[in-house]
């Protein structure tokens, strides 16, 4: 099933980087690569909560396994304009082992944390299956009978 994801303009560049990073680490030959990378990234963040200040895509990767997002209910909120943290906070849960780190991040860079949450939310609903192209009813190659072709060409 394919949904059209309407990514808000304020997320496009960060989402592009986040998507590229996540997909590049999702290797079928090495299924643990992504989870190991995300664990190591969070451990670094835990040591220095402001490590990814200015790198929202990296922050999103680092916290992606430490938060739970109620995407079903978050999707009911209008996100075309950037929401406030208060609007999305009810839909975000933080694992106990990450609370101190997340609190530190929110104290200093609440907006980046909020954007990271939204990146994860949209990524979780992202379908990378290419859309089928619609058939062209005026396909120029469908009616060979009506054209004169030089068979000796």
In total, the chain counts a number of residues equal to 153
Task: Name the percent of the chain in helix, strand, coil, to the closest 5.
Answer: 55, 5, 40
DSSP letter for 114, please: H
Tokens of 89: 């906070």
pLDDT attached to residue 129: 58
Give the span between the Cα atoms of 40 and 64, in whole angstroms.
Answer: 12
pLDDT band at 153 (very low <50, low <70, confident <90, very high): very low
pLDDT digits 0-9 by tens, 93-110: 999 999 999 999 999 999
Angle of CA points 48, 52, 55, to nearest 5°: 180
pLDDT digits 0-9 by tens, 113-135: 999 999 999 999 876 655 555 55
* 36 against 130, higher pLDDT: 36
Give the span between the Cα atoms of 110 and 45, in whole angstroms.
Answer: 15
Rounded to two decimals, what is the model's pTM?
A: 0.78
């Amino acid at each position: 099933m394919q949904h059209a994801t309407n990514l808000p303009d304020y997320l496009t560049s960060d989402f592009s980087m986040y998507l590229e990073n996540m997909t590049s680490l999702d290797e079928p030959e090495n299924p643990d690569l992504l989870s190991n990378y995300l664990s190591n990234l969070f451990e670094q963040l835990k040591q220095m909560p402001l490590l990814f200040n200015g790198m929202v895509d990296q922050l999103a990767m680092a916290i992606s396994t430490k938060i739970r997002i109620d995407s079903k209910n978050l999707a009911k909120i209008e996100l075309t304009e950037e929401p406030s943290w208060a609007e999305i906070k009810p839909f975000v849960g933080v694992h106990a082992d990450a609370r101190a780190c997340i609190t530190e991040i929110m104290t200093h860079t609440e907006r980046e944390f909020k954007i990271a949450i939204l990146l994860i939310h949209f990524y979780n609903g992202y379908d990378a299956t290419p859309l089928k192209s619609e058939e062209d009813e005026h396909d120029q190659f469908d009616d060979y009978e009506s054209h004169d072709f030089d068979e000796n060409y």
